[in-house]
Amino acid sequence: MRVFNFDHAIVRRPCRNVVDGLRSDATAEPDFEGIVREHDTYVAALEGAGLIVDVLPPLEAFPDSVFVEDPALVFPEGAILLRPGAPTRLGEREEMRAPLHQRFEQVLEIEGDDEYADGGDVLVMSDIVLIGLSKRTNRKGAQALCEKLARLGRKAKIVETPKAVLHFKTAVSLLDEETVLATRTMADSGIFAGYKTVLVPEGEEAAANALRVNRVVLLGAHFPRTMDRVVKEKYAVAAVDVSEIGKLDAGLSCMSLRW
């Protein structure tokens, strides 16, 4: 199953309060205008890869709402409303309900008050969906997500996200059905034994959050050594500036829902 073949995507415009979003580095000072420019470039990259992109309006009440992949998952078979592990983000899922029902016949929901799962911890492979336990995804949430995925005909497996990694996909992304781009820490975890692994160079760990869309791999423009490695592996690459967005612990996968 070619899980990186898409023709539609949903994104949400950044709100003014995006600069107050969650981040591990309290000294980072993202620039709003810079984030808006990067988001526009990101949307253009998705369109350039062949996608029809629906742009939702900004939500001032939710600084992190530009990262639409955390409160929801989408597949051709249907969508799943998740429960983000950060308390300030729980309301975002309610804002995704109507857009998902407009586009999908089947929308499932994780409902338990003690069940938390973030889309940033979910990597869809060709034969299985990996769910990484983290500070944002607990075991009960992961188990509930496995049940919802089964209803959509998808097999799932719960794995341990390496310590000090915020989201599972912070440290790994899919290049093709048999190949991942990963940090050394993720590669050493053993989760991807049997897959070919392209390692990101030391100092460019954030580049592991790339995004394969149809024939193109979107990569952060400020990771030149990673870009060289991926190009040498014969992938088509599109460089996308995410330097400001990166100050919010974010990357390329979290800003869109794709199907």
- 254 is annotated as an active-site residue: yes
Active-site residue (options: 15, 146, 167, 222): 167
- 15 is annotated as an active-site residue: no
Measured in degrees and rounded to the nearest 5, phi and psi for residue 13 equal -60, 145
Bridge-based pairing state of the strands 156-160 and 129-133: parallel
**In residues, how long is the chain?**
259
Active-site residue (options: 39, 101, 146, 254): 254
The arrangement of strands across the sheet holding 107-109 comes to 72-75, 78-81, 107-109
Catalytic positions are 167, 254
